[in-house]
Amino acid sequence: MHDQPSVSELVLAVKSFIDETAGPNLTGHAAFHARVASNALATVLRDLELRPANEAAEIARLRSLLDASEGDDLAILNARLSEKIRSGDLTPQTPGLLEHLKTTTVAQVEIDQPRYSGLRTAKS
């Protein structure tokens, strides 16, 4: 049985150390790299929080678009989607395709760049 600390808690502890203890005592390139590390850890935290639901929703949309079975994983489904787009079997006129691509992209941007200026527009 695994209790605490969780992966998220461990990452948060390291991020807090960088932000509150190490970072303020650094200058120059070291301070810059501490900020980069903190931002990377923030991305990891968002990924840990959001990826499971994002992937489940993406798989559901792909299964619907591709009329796929329950056994196919995300990588296989995305490979099939790419092939169907490449072959012309799926086009921008295919119901649900553009919405799937937009939703998937927005979900990833929310993890990678949540302060991206176009994100609010993309979500509407």
* Domain spans of the chain, in order of start: 7-123
pLDDT at 14 over 70: yes
Contacts of 51 (CB under 8 A, 6+ apart): 111
Whether the CB-CB separation of 83 and 99 falls below 8 Å is answered with: no
Q: What one-character-per-residue DSSP string does 42-77 give?
A: HHHHHHHHHHHHHHHHHHHHHHHHHT--TT--HHHH
- pTM for this entry: 0.85
Give per-residue pLDDT as tens, 59-96: 999 999 999 988 889 999 999 999 999 999 999 999 99
Residue in the structure block whose two tokens are 């787009």: 85
Of 86, 77, 34, the closest CA to residue 58 belongs to: 77
Of 54, 72, 59, 27, the closest CA to residue 112 belongs to: 54
pLDDT at 2 over 70: no
* Confidence band of 1 (pLDDT split at 50, 70, 90): low
The amino acid at residue 43 is: T
